[in-house]
Amino acid sequence: MARERKDPQDLSIEEKLKNLYQLQTMLSEIDKIKTLRGELPLEVQDLEDEIEGLTTRIEKIQADIASLQEEMARRRISIQENNANIERYTQQMDNVRNNREYENLSKEIEYLQLDNQLHEKKIREASVALEHRQEDIRHCSDTVTDRRTDLDIKKSELDEIIQETRAEEEKLRERSKNLEATIEPRLLSAFKRIRKNSRNGLGVVYVQRDACGGCFNKIPPQRQLDIRMRKKIIVCEYCGRIMIDPELAGVQTAQKVEEKPKRRSRKKAEKSGDENA
């Protein structure tokens, strides 16, 4: 017959602290596994972001190239239309009836010629800009190729590490999930908040050399006694971590008792001085 699980609310303070410390131990093991991966996950993410940014830039440059090519084609058509009009006006000049018509046609031809010069100038500028855009695309494409090669290598390394540690990590996560079910939600939420705000990920620490095992600030004797009593949950007044006594954490502390040197009585000292004299 399966043993019924206690309601987290009904557990004693000592049992709650013990469960919290066991959970902390498992989560610390998971953190160690993550540490093995080092900066690889961040490097992979950075490379993916960079490739995405370069791809977006290439698409924008391609749109600019298409716009420049469209502008150049439009201006070439305008030049052709202007040339056709110039030829037509030139033919009309042979059949003018007065100077006024001749001058008007001359001005039209001059205007069209100036317009052609402007179009040709804009085409040259667009051609130079087009070459720069194409060079930018080549550079970005080469960079993307290099980054994809780096990404494949980093991903391969990361996948290899994950594959090696996956079974152990999944086992620890399953055990920690089961253990979380034995901790009342309010206490679990507080523990996770403390752990999140801690640089080393420790939410529960035991007393070490009369100091907090997280921030190493000294703990008053009375507070240490309260921690050993296990009657209430006590947090460090400096770092906010939950504190337990070493024994509850399964840590053996060797207490050395230093013998005080015996004081020699005045009579023995005087007697010793007389004998030496």
Residues 191, 167, single domain; the answer is no
The total domain count for the chain is 2
Q: Residue 52: what pLDDT? A: 95
Residues 42, 174, single domain; the answer is yes
Residues 70, 150, single domain; the answer is yes
- Residues 219 and 190: beta-carbon distance below 8 Å: no
The lowest-confidence range among 87-91, 93-97, 231-235, 271-275 is: 271-275
Residues spanned by the domain of 238:
184-244
Query: At residue 210, what is the residue type?
Result: D
In a domain, 267, yes or no: no
Task: Identify the residue with better confidence: 77 or 93.
Answer: 77
Task: Identify the residue with better confidence: 135 or 277.
Answer: 135
Alpha-carbon separation of residue 34 from 40, 41, 168, 205, 213 (angstroms):
10, 9, 12, 21, 22
Residues 233, 107, single domain; the answer is no
CB neighbourhood size of 69 (10 A): 14
Alpha-carbon distance of 232 to 54, in angstroms, equals 57
Q: Residue 167: what pLDDT? A: 82
In a domain, 252, yes or no: no
How would you classify the pairing of strands 234-235 and 204-206?
unpaired
Tell me the torsion sign for CA atoms 88, 93, 94, 100: positive
- Residues 248 and 14: beta-carbon distance below 8 Å: yes
Alpha-carbon distance of 59 to 121, in angstroms, equals 27
CA atoms within 13 A on the CB side of 267: 0
Alpha-carbon distance of 231 to 245, in angstroms, equals 12
Residues 50, 148, single domain; the answer is yes
What is the chain's mean pLDDT, rounded? 86
Q: Is residue 274 over pLDDT 60?
A: no
Residues 60, 134, single domain; the answer is yes
CB neighbourhood size of 155 (10 A): 15
Q: Is residue 96 over pLDDT 70?
A: yes
Residues 89, 154, single domain; the answer is yes
- Residues 243 and 219: beta-carbon distance below 8 Å: yes
| Beta bridge mates, 243 | 205, 234
Alpha-carbon distance of 144 to 58, in angstroms, equals 10
- pLDDT tens digits for range 107-159: 999 999 999 999 999 999 999 999 999 999 999 999 999 999 999 999 998 88
In a domain, 131, yes or no: yes
- pLDDT tens digits for range 152-197: 999 998 888 888 778 888 888 888 888 888 888 898 899 989 988 8
In a domain, 206, yes or no: yes
Question: How many residues in the chain?
Answer: 277
CB neighbourhood size of 212 (10 A): 22
CB neighbourhood size of 195 (10 A): 20
Report the share of the chain in percent with pLDDT over 70: 88
Tell me the torsion sign for CA atoms 176, 177, 179, 185: positive
Q: Is residue 260 over pLDDT 50?
A: no
Q: Residue 258: what pLDDT? A: 42
